[in-house]
Structure formats: C-alpha cells, structure tokens
Structure 1
Amino acid sequence: MDDRPGSVPTVSRGLAGYVRAVADAVGVPAEATSFEISDTATAYLGLTRRWSARPGNDLMLVWSERHGWAVAVETDPGQDALVVAYLAGEGVVPEPAAVARFVTDVVTGRRSGSPRPVFPTTAGRHELAERLARYA
C-alpha cells in the first residue's frame, strides 16, 4: 500500500474519516454517505431534512476537493442536482461543526450561502492529504 502524502490510500483514509465526522455533526447515518476518489475527490451525504422551496425533493450535502461543501436538491435521475448554496469562507475542508451550522442555516432560511463555488481548486492531492490527515 502506498502511504506517501497525497497518495490515493492516504487521501482515502483521511476523506473517509472526514466524511464520518461531518455525517456525525449533521446527524446523517453512515449508510447515507459515500465518497469517491478518481480524478476528483467527492463525497455525498443524504440529508433527512427538507427545504421549504422544494418540499417534495430530497436534499443532499455534497463535497468536492474543487468546490468544498454544497447543499443541493436531488432531482430526477439523469438530471444534475440543483445546488441551493455553497459553503463560503471556511476553506475546502472546514470543521464538521461549521458544515452542520451551514446545513441548518440553509435549510431554515437563515443563511443562503454562496450561489457559486467560492474556491477553485488550487491545492494538489498532497495538500488535500495534509488537510485530511487528522481525520485518518
């Protein structure tokens, strides 16, 4: 196994722990989470909460190493999710408690977040591995 910083196994262990920590903070069970590392590292958490603007649709919390966290509305299969808001000002790997506050604020309408991603990727896998290391 390759345990060099930035290697896929190193990033994978850190991302797995980070997703678990965020899921715990948001109140999402482990079976409603997933993550993938390919050309881009991504994560998904199925939320149990509803958004008043689309009460008939499920909500999800999605993450990518390029754009950080976003709350999105699940749409019909084959269609892209409708992003409600991106978490701004917290970096690409924010504290789980900050993500939980963001979700609550967006769902309750207290905060709208950013309508666009706020951090284009500048970090490489090595830097991402360093940010995720404490969750491994």
Structure 2
Amino acid sequence: MEPLEPDTRTLERGLARYVRAVASAVGVPAESTTVEISDTATAYLGLPLRWRDRPDHDVMLVWSERRGWSLAVETEPTQSPDVIAHQGGENLVPAPAAVARFVADTAAGRHPGPAAPAAVKTASRTSLTEQLRPYLGREPDSPA
C-alpha cells in the first residue's frame, strides 16, 4: 500500500518553519517571508541586499519544490525575476546554514553554482514532508 499524501496544512506548517529557520540563518525577520502551497509549494524571503548590476532593485531568495533555492533580483511586477544563481544539488531542503552560505557567497561573487537550475527530480509531497519533518516538531528558533 502506497503512503497517503500529507495534508496541505502539515506541508505548509513544515515549510513555513523551515523558511523561518532559513530567514534566521540569513539574518532577515520572519515578516520578510512568505510560503504558499498550491499546485507548487513555494517560498519567498526578501533580503536587505542590492545587486551590484541592479542597485535599484531588491534581492530575494526564492524556493520551489521543483528547483530548490534561487537568488534573484526583483524586476517589474509584470516580469519574472532575474535569477542570479541556484543552490545546486539534489537536496530540496538543505540546512539553513548552507542556504546562508549560498547567499553570502553569491553576494560576494564567490558562488560557483549555475545561473540555471540543474534538473531536479520533483519530490512527491510525501517525500517533501519527510524532508521537512525536523521542522514540524519544534518552533524554528528553539533548540533541536
């Protein structure tokens, strides 16, 4: 018997707590984050950075269940953001400290990752919830 897909609230709670942990590691308040579960699970963190080539635009860290983490520069509301770099690897839920290093390295011009995402195998919602399980049982700022 195949396991049942998790309910949307469980997935959303785990993702929201994970994103708050990433926000804390990156140094941004939880108020600068959003999480959405629809046909695709996504997250957004507004960063207090400016990109050297686009100093008038905000920098954001975005996550998708299909691509993982990406650093991007916001554009006009009707346009897609300009992606600067993707955090490589197959792991859709890397440790918050690893995401913080990705942001710091990319901002400093040291990120060796690709500007285009590698092909990431889409995880099932069950698999994604399992990856987020460590964040389900505790508040993001409490000890593990």
Determine if the TM-score, normalized by the shorter chain, exceeds 0.5. yes
Q: Unaligned stretches of 5+ in structure 2? A: 137-144
Q: Partner amino acid for 1:45? A: L
Cα distance in 1 between the residues matched to 2:6 and 2:22: 21
Question: CA shift at 1:120, angstroms?
Answer: 2.5
Q: Unaligned stretches of 5+ in structure 1? A: none
Structure 1 residue 92 and structure 2 residue 92: aligned? Answer: yes
Name whichever structure is richer in strand by fraction. 2
Question: CA shift at 1:56, angstroms?
Answer: 1.6
- What does residue 63 of structure 2 align with? 63
Deviations along 1:23-72, one digit per CA (max 9) or x if unpaired, are 00001111110010001000000000122122221100000000000000
Provide the identity percentage. Answer: 58
Q: Counterparts of 1:45-84 in structure 2 under 5 Å?
A: 45-84=45-84
Cα distance in 2 between the residues matched to 1:91 and 1:53: 29
TM normalised by structure 1 equals 0.92
Q: Partner amino acid for 2:110? A: R
Distance change >3 Å, CA 119–CA 133, structure 1 → 2: farther
Question: CA shift at 1:5, angstroms?
Answer: 5.7
Q: Counterparts of 1:1-136 in structure 2 under 5 Å?
A: 6-89=6-89, 91-136=91-136
Which runs of structure 1 show a deviation greater than 4 angstroms over 4 or more consecutive aligned residues? none
Query: Are the counterparts in 1 of residues 65 and 122 from structure 2 also a CA contact under 8 Å?
Result: no
